[in-house]
Structure 1
Amino acid sequence: MWTFFDMVPESENNDGKPRAKCKMCGITYMAASKYGTGNMKRHIDACPRRSSRDIGQMMLSQGSGSISVSIPKFETEQYRELLIAAIVKHELPFRFVEYSGVRSLLQYLRPDVPIIYRNTAKADLVKIYSQEKRRIKCMLNDSPGRISLTSNLWTSITTDGYMCITAHFLDKNWVLQKRVLNFSFMPPPHNGISLSEKIYNLLCEWGIQHKIYVLTLDNASSNDVSVELLRTQLNIKKALLCDGEFFHLRCCAHILNLIVQHGLKEIDFAIQKVRESIKYVKGSQSRKVKFLDSTKQMSLDSKKGLRQDVPTRWNSTYLMLESAIFYRRAFSHLELTDSNFKHCPSIFDWEKIEKINSLLGVFYEATCDFSGTKYPTANLYFPAIFLIYFTLKRHSEGEDDYMKTMCCKMLVKFEKYWSEFNVLLAIAVILDPRYKLHFVDFSYTKLYGDCSIEYMNVRSKMSSLFMEYSSSSAPTCSTTTSDSTYSRAESQSSINKQAFQVITV
């Protein structure tokens, strides 16, 4: 107790009884031996001035009857791994380990810290890369299901081509995983043959050429050629389901971007007024002050803020229009108080912008759903695309000429890529217990009428895919199989059919 308390001198005690005073808050307790130390012990735990543990007590430990300073064991290997991890995480150069300031800091913390040079850091990084690659390779091989891939190819500002391939799969614990398998230089030419060779060599390097399910790419023409070559090459080895019918999947977010950009060409004039209005407000500090005064006059929340868009990214255009609509009355007030403000949209323009914003909101919600990384997104495709298709058809057949013109152009681009809904992603929504086959039936009825060919196509494709999975997991029967074995096989087939009915219903 006496680490936290001091005895009060007898001259300061009015009653002459021994007392102890807390060193941190100053409260006193009776310190006579007959009272014990229980009160002081309880006070130590609840003292308001004791916000952290005593540093000395944190460093000292009791051992063999004597107090000794505990020093954690220094692991050189762990220190080097942490240093390399910091270089990778923060994109530091290898010469970071040779900076005099960094070395002085490390030697201050521990005088005997080993000195590492850039070549050593490079060798350690290659070693860690090899370890991680072996670990991920084991994860891919242990995965109970198939692996889906996404790939992208682009050119840097130095005109160098790069390719990135990412694997999406369920591990042996049924946890959704995403791992980058390749991020490397892609020399020209960037045609379909070169891309297919690059991807196939990568699959063989990781040993997953027999476990691929689908490959998701954007809509470049070279990608279509590479997919066909890969499908043919993998089908020769019978590595794909249903002869690769579901192998190619187009990037949904990329298609949505093409559709919306095609439609926005019709509304550039209305959007341009909003864009120029926001540029005007953000052009100087005095204009910002005037706009804030207008928001206060209109009783609007100034914390929401205006959003400036990037013309090549339609989702930023949607966010810009949404913020502008919120401050519509502030813009009108600013037009009355500032004679230099000439770009305020008219009432007719605001009506157009509200209609446009409502339409783009459907695409924005779908893009946010498709862009998720912490949850599966295949089951979200069909409801979102159905809503977009239904909205475009409704506006294209409506009486509003402005929306009709815009939506007709968007509908043409939509049907170019999605005239038939992706069957594999329609099957994914059937496997979702919230929707099942009833939702697909309802959606196709709304779009194409009762008993449409599109709906029957989805049902037949799902049946064939289910039977292929069940046949691949069922034991094979030889010609000498007994009658009991045949009866078990027939029973298994009957169970498979019943299971298919349960899944769809």
Structure 2
Amino acid sequence: MLMSSSLKKGNVELRHQKLNQEQHRENIVMAILLHEYPFQFVEHEGTRNMISYLNPDVKHVTRNTIKADVLKFYRREKKKLLDILQLVPGRISLTSDLWASITTDGYISLTAHFVDKDWMLQKRILNFHYMPTPHTGFAISEMISSLLNEWNLEKKLFSITLDNASSNDSFVDFVKSQLCIRNGLLLNGEFFHVRCCAHILNLIVQDGLKEIDSGIYKIRESVKFMKGSQSRKKKFHDCAQQMGINCKKGLRQDVSTRWNSTYLMLESALHYRDAFIHLSLSDSNYLHCPTLEEWNQIENMVKFLKVFYDVTNIFSGTLYPTSNLFFLGMWRIQCILQEEAKNPILFRSSSLSKMQSKFDKYWGAFSAILAIAVILDPRYKMDIVEFAFMKLYGDDEGNSKVNNIREKLQKLFGEYCNIDLQNQGSSYTIQTTQDQVIEGDPNDPLMVSTYES
């Protein structure tokens, strides 16, 4: 029996607390979920002895019972999330991705992003679901459609962000057509498909890194060699100290599929360049030291890729909105590519054309909603879009692109006006031309302020 004691005037007063068996099982469920314990955890002898010592009245449960409790907890939390999603005042955006496990089983994730009634940015993982092969666009669309129906989101969606796998294009077409039939998307899904900005940058940078493949391979092998044993680490540390290098900066090892980790590996290796060169002269077992030319190439590439790395970090933020940061980030990348093309370094000239070609491919297909997002940012508004397009394309082509964005913004605004006023029994008609024909209440302050600006 659970007991607590307190000392009052030299006497020990015992207070008995009645055991709540349901609360005890709930605590076990939370421990299993938080720490990823196996269900069999509740049957371990040590666990039961510890619990019985704290309170002999506890009724021990089996793994099957606790599994049922976990599923009950899941259904309860799912119902809460369903209610939250239905009360979201605006639209909900989704992100989705596919993974393969070590055993090659496929899994698909679906995450909801929304602003709640208190104007707080929220993110909720809706599903992490087994995805059988084949992973075709039609199969993915069937799975996503069933998940959307399960969460009752068919008429609350704004967009879905995906990577650039070819199957995703056909998947989006299938899902968009189904949602449009039910009148579930704004402007027939014109802004529905958003390409993952970080994935686009990854594809662009990978073309640049191919130019220094041999140098990257040598750096990767050098880091592996140095981290291979304590004696090697000590010897490398001694070399760094002899060369007057500050050893507080860590030496990183990369994950080859993540270019930003490769960038950090190269940056940290450059800090210890003299130590690696010294080690190659003093240790005959060290065979992968880059040549002086390769070191120079790596240094130039790291300087060039710094802006890509910074923009990737900005896009990868989780505690703040990122849609309004896309346009400025990608414009910054475009400016760097154009500047480098004027005075390219010899070893990088071939990669620049490939990077520019891939950038143009995705920049030309980017969703206009990302330009609209920066317009809605009160720090920038329409001025930043006009400035960026004029700088990149000149007056004629720049004006054409600005007018295209302005027209889409007006159409989106008109759609929201119609939705709002249809709920009140009336509607606006907005003609998105230079004449700007607007039907509705001319004294509406929202309309007046928009067109005056």
TM-score when normalising by structure 2? 0.90
Unaligned runs of 5+ in 2: 428-437
Match of 1:476 among 416, 425, 428: 425
1:67 deviates by 7.0
Structure 2 partner of 1:45: none
Q: Contact 1:396/1:405 (CA < 8 Å) preserved in 2?
A: no
Match of 1:408 among 353, 356, 378: 353
Structure 2 partner of 1:103: 48
Within 5 A, what are the aligned runs for 1:249-288?
A: 249-288=194-233
Q: Contact 1:321/1:357 (CA < 8 Å) preserved in 2?
A: yes
1:449 deviates by 1.3
Given residue 163 of structure 2, which amino acid in structure 1 is its aligned partner? Answer: D
1:270 deviates by 2.3
Hey, what's the Cα distance between the residues in 2 that align with 1:188 and 1:325? Answer: 44
Identity %: 51
Q: Contact 2:88/2:115 (CA < 8 Å) preserved in 1?
A: yes
Q: Using a 3 Å threshold, how does the CA distance of structure 1 residues 104 and 411 change in structure 2: closer, same or farther?
A: same
Given residue 121 of structure 2, which amino acid in structure 1 is its aligned partner? Answer: L
Matched, 1:80 2:25: yes
Matched, 1:496 2:426: no
Hey, what's the Cα distance between the residues in 2 that align with 1:126 and 1:343? Answer: 53
Given residue 443 of structure 1, which amino acid in structure 2 is its aligned partner? Answer: A
Matched, 1:419 2:364: yes
Hey, what's the Cα distance between the residues in 1 that align with 2:285 and 2:5? Answer: 68
Match of 1:194 among 129, 139, 144: 139
Match of 1:300 among 245, 261, 264: 245
Hey, what's the Cα distance between the residues in 1 that align with 2:426 and 2:124? Answer: 39
Q: Contact 2:389/2:402 (CA < 8 Å) preserved in 1?
A: yes
Q: Contact 1:143/1:170 (CA < 8 Å) preserved in 2?
A: yes
Q: Using a 3 Å threshold, how does the CA distance of structure 1 residues 282 and 201 change in structure 2: closer, same or farther?
A: closer
Unaligned runs of 5+ in 1: 1-55, 479-486
Hey, what's the Cα distance between the residues in 1 that align with 2:395 and 2:17? Answer: 74
Matched, 1:458 2:408: no
Hey, what's the Cα distance between the residues in 1 that align with 2:232 and 2:426? Answer: 82
Number of aligned residues:
436
Structure 2 partner of 1:394: 339
Aligned-partner SS, 2:395? coil
Structure 2 partner of 1:234: 179
Aligned-partner SS, 1:96? helix
Q: Using a 3 Å threshold, how does the CA distance of structure 1 residues 238 and 405 change in structure 2: closer, same or farther?
A: same
1:251 deviates by 1.4
Aligned-partner SS, 2:98? strand
Given residue 60 of structure 1, which amino acid in structure 2 is its aligned partner? Answer: S
TM-score when normalising by structure 1? 0.81
Within 5 A, what are the aligned runs for 1:65-464?
A: 68-451=13-396, 452=398, 453-464=400-411
1:294 deviates by 2.0
Structure 1 partner of 2:430: none
Aligned-partner SS, 1:59? strand
Hey, what's the Cα distance between the residues in 2 that align with 1:488 and 1:155? Answer: 53
Max Rg structure: 1
Q: Contact 2:195/2:366 (CA < 8 Å) preserved in 1?
A: no
Hey, what's the Cα distance between the residues in 2 that align with 1:121 and 1:340? Answer: 55
Structure 2 partner of 1:20: none
- For residues 231-273 of structure 1, the C-alpha deviation after alignment (integer angstroms, 9 at most, x for no partner) is 1111112111111000011111222222212221121122233
Hey, what's the Cα distance between the residues in 1 that align with 2:25 and 2:34? Answer: 14
1:86 deviates by 1.1
1:342 deviates by 4.4
1:488 deviates by 11
